[in-house]
Structure 1
């Protein structure tokens, strides 16, 4: 078992059924349907929340007000006055809020004079962000993943070029975007409700009572197909030390344990790939003669100038480190594009290990997601009873995800893996003779400024102590890696065979 409370996760609960939702079109539809079933409470945690987000965008952005989530929640509060509706979002600085249509100002204005309680959470160190994304309904059902509720997150698994439903009010079509969310019910959802209550109390000082008895029903929407379960659901957190809140690095420990345990496959989709700790762990597995395949998917380049200067440069160092260890040729790194060759922004945070574990959440593969920002991941692990069935379900999810990238059927992926002997060769077989939808992602040459940024991880602190002291960062990384290896070993989990953090730029 990878899920070890106190080490790789906070809690492990069973969920009778679970779903992995590919892209936000289906998520928004399912979220609206589930909220309409709510009887007692609806709780949101988000990095960003825009009340003008449409559940079902129409071409040109011409949506009725009733289809916008802000108006929907206000109407729901009026028709069901017994509902306790609360939203907790990061109190973002004005420059960051400006990149998301000033959501912090719009949120508060939208819900003034209603029973919907909207709060902005600034209870964290300067420069850190609250990055968790979830909706908890009646402590019976919950979504958790990487998608925020903002208009430009919406897309379908087809990622169509020029989809008029992605047309903004300024008549500009925003880029295709890939997101993933998970859905659980029962004890796992109740635990996510407890996590919300902890955050709410820390941010506002108000304590929300936990219901003594859960409601004997499930708001699971009819439009959402369960594709996993029953399975063990682990909840892993990241939290920076702040006032009386301790530092939590469960997500980092879980990543290291997952990489160390993999036998055949490590499949990761992530927005940012910059952490030297993770690079060392992956490189060690690539150096093993009989180690697992490592398949990585990320965006060709970040959409924002700041991220291009920081995260993209440092990702090149990450990839270079892996290439130096790829003597057995088991590394496969890709960036997805549309049928027309335009980039698809990979904002999803997904990891699949063999056929045993699927992990979805808000945690990036960078330094700040390991210990500086606030994160939450949900990991679904095949375990008794029903482990054999769960493994087949996880394999099916992996095939479905790859199929969605390549525009083929899941059965085609399954056949190609059997023929090619691995996921990387299977992708090559499926793309042969056609336009490659997954292009090679390779490290880029770095000039003097980019080398300095990558070497010191500018904009990507490892913890609060080095947040504004980048010269301390490399020593902090090595110390954190040693501490995590000791913690994993004491919990009886396999530890990654890594040396000191290497300088590779």
Structure 2
């Protein structure tokens, strides 16, 4: 089969990673990010949709003298290590979130006018577009890339305990269970992510930064390596804006994974709202011997307005897919914890068979395919049954096991017995306690039908790009093998 990774099509760059790890849920990410930043010698570069200086990175688990809260921690680092350049690039409209939720302006204002820690706002995007990629790069040696924002409401463990006090907001409010994921990589791949961060900085500020040259190894203490010495792809979504050209590598990669899957496509996403992706899934489900497709979503979108648009779009696309699913190979499910409280799914993962893993910031919605800035990493096996293939399967089984409250070995055993991911989930699923629940289908009201197709909240492309890109991407769907 033709390789998924192709520079200029399904990815921006293919780079070598000495080490790569998948980190599931934000308790692990915050802990390992803090560990890596403590090892920084020259540079800490944070790029994201949102940051909240008040969050506790390791609630109640500090074993050193460094502060636990993000703002205090970064100030503590900057005062003790004059040689470290700390830069934060935050989506400009995200500043409104900081003010309205009660975050103290002390850090924001001081960092915006500081040389020690520099905070800049990224407004280099079309109107109402979001700067959505989430990067943390240390010394150009280690980089985190995924779906987790360093902000309020993200911290959680893989247990997703009911009413866990460690999840409380800085204002003391209870926060629900939250599922998320990111990656950590080292080597040239980390340096390439550093280059991408510097490119965003230059677009937003006009300041050109030089690459970082440091002898450090800021790999987080205790972080298990999933992949050694691999080639990995870095894929982007970039909207056309001034001198920036449109890039749709992430959508092309998703379509290629769906088209080439033989047995299973496993997806975790905050939304199911991209018609292009839904149509590609429907085509494969209509095949007599096509793959199973399992989508893990939240029960519903956050907020009243978002739910009106995104949940309506999901129902419409669920109907499209289910109409094509004559062989019953599609499931869309949401996870619940031991108390049957729904777990909000914010992870953005796609796994095709045991062959390819894609993880990053991009959802299954139109914005992530062409209107917002996104960054995903792609790890591809080159040979059936190799070490990469085995680890991709193990990671998928671990994710399914987390949602079912089971052991990965149980998931593996049931898949081997049934030859089906769906049958394995059904065999292990519980009707009480931890498990997965089917997203219900219903009829849309006329108003919801209009919202689902309007594209107001979830545009595909900036004005003038849509027609050019849609024709190209539709051709890619039929020619990629």
Residues 54, 151 of structure 1: 8 Å contact kept: no
Equivalent in the alignment of 1:301: 300
Question: What is the CA–CA distance in structure 1 between the aligned matches of 2:455 and 2:425, rounded to whole Å?
Answer: 32
Question: What is the CA–CA distance in structure 2 between the aligned matches of 1:94 and 1:445, rounded to whole Å?
Answer: 38
What do the CA deviations read for 1:394-436 (whole angstroms, capped 9, x no partner)?
1111111111111111111100111121111101111157546
Shift, 1:349, TM fit: 0.2
Equivalent in the alignment of 1:312: 311
- Superposed counterparts of 1:59-138, under 5 Å: 66-92=67-93, 96-97=97-98, 101=102, 107-109=108-110, 112-113=113-114, 115-138=116-139
Distance of aligned partners of 1:370 and 1:416 in 2 relative to their CA distance in 1, 3 Å threshold: same
Residues 16, 187 of structure 2: 8 Å contact kept: yes
- Superposed counterparts of 1:3-22, under 5 Å: 3-22=5-24
Structure 1 stretch 453-462 or stretch 152-161: which is displaced more? 453-462
Residues 7, 487 of structure 1: 8 Å contact kept: no
Secondary structure of 1:16 counterpart = strand
For residue 428 of structure 1, the aligned residue among 407, 411, 426 is 426
Distance of aligned partners of 1:359 and 1:216 in 2 relative to their CA distance in 1, 3 Å threshold: same
Question: What is the CA–CA distance in structure 1 between the aligned matches of 2:234 and 2:206, rounded to whole Å?
Answer: 24
Question: What is the CA–CA distance in structure 1 between the aligned matches of 2:236 and 2:129, rounded to whole Å?
Answer: 15
Secondary structure of 2:228 counterpart = coil
For residue 449 of structure 1, the aligned residue among 438, 442, 447 is 447
Shift, 1:444, TM fit: 2.7
Residues 234, 375 of structure 2: 8 Å contact kept: yes
Distance of aligned partners of 1:186 and 1:104 in 2 relative to their CA distance in 1, 3 Å threshold: farther
- Superposed counterparts of 1:84-483, under 5 Å: 84-92=85-93, 96-97=97-98, 101=102, 107-109=108-110, 112-113=113-114, 115-211=116-212, 214-383=213-382, 388-432=386-430, 435=433, 437-465=435-463, 476=466, 480-483=469-472
Residues 111, 118 of structure 2: 8 Å contact kept: no
Shift, 1:88, TM fit: 0.4
Question: What is the CA–CA distance in structure 2 between the aligned matches of 1:94 and 1:143, rounded to whole Å?
Answer: 23
Structure 1 stretch 305-314 or stretch 98-107: which is displaced more? 98-107
Structure 1 stretch 441-450 or stretch 365-374: which is displaced more? 441-450
Shift, 1:302, TM fit: 1.4
Question: What is the CA–CA distance in structure 2 between the aligned matches of 1:457 and 1:140, rounded to whole Å?
Answer: 40
Question: What is the CA–CA distance in structure 1 between the aligned matches of 2:160 and 2:376, rounded to whole Å?
Answer: 25
Equivalent in the alignment of 1:471: none
Aligned residues: 476
Distance of aligned partners of 1:298 and 1:429 in 2 relative to their CA distance in 1, 3 Å threshold: same
- Structure 1, unaligned runs of 5 or more: 468-475, 495-505
Shift, 1:486, TM fit: 3.2
Question: What is the CA–CA distance in structure 2 between the aligned matches of 1:199 and 1:16, rounded to whole Å?
Answer: 25
Distance of aligned partners of 1:68 and 1:161 in 2 relative to their CA distance in 1, 3 Å threshold: same
Distance of aligned partners of 1:488 and 1:191 in 2 relative to their CA distance in 1, 3 Å threshold: farther
Secondary structure of 1:464 counterpart = coil
Question: What is the CA–CA distance in structure 2 between the aligned matches of 1:248 and 1:337, rounded to whole Å?
Answer: 36
What do the CA deviations read for 1:261-292 (whole angstroms, capped 9, x no partner)?
11111100000111110110000000000000
Residues 92, 104 of structure 1: 8 Å contact kept: no
Distance of aligned partners of 1:77 and 1:331 in 2 relative to their CA distance in 1, 3 Å threshold: same
TM-score normalised by structure 2 residue count: 0.94
TM-score normalised by structure 1 residue count: 0.90
Secondary structure of 2:376 counterpart = strand
Secondary structure of 1:67 counterpart = coil
What do the CA deviations read for 1:42-69 (whole angstroms, capped 9, x no partner)?
101110011111111249xxxx992111
Distance of aligned partners of 1:216 and 1:83 in 2 relative to their CA distance in 1, 3 Å threshold: closer
Question: What is the CA–CA distance in structure 1 between the aligned matches of 2:370 and 2:120, rounded to whole Å?
Answer: 24
Distance of aligned partners of 1:169 and 1:123 in 2 relative to their CA distance in 1, 3 Å threshold: closer
Distance of aligned partners of 1:237 and 1:169 in 2 relative to their CA distance in 1, 3 Å threshold: closer
Shift, 1:320, TM fit: 0.9
Distance of aligned partners of 1:101 and 1:227 in 2 relative to their CA distance in 1, 3 Å threshold: farther
Equivalent in the alignment of 1:23: 25
Distance of aligned partners of 1:93 and 1:159 in 2 relative to their CA distance in 1, 3 Å threshold: closer
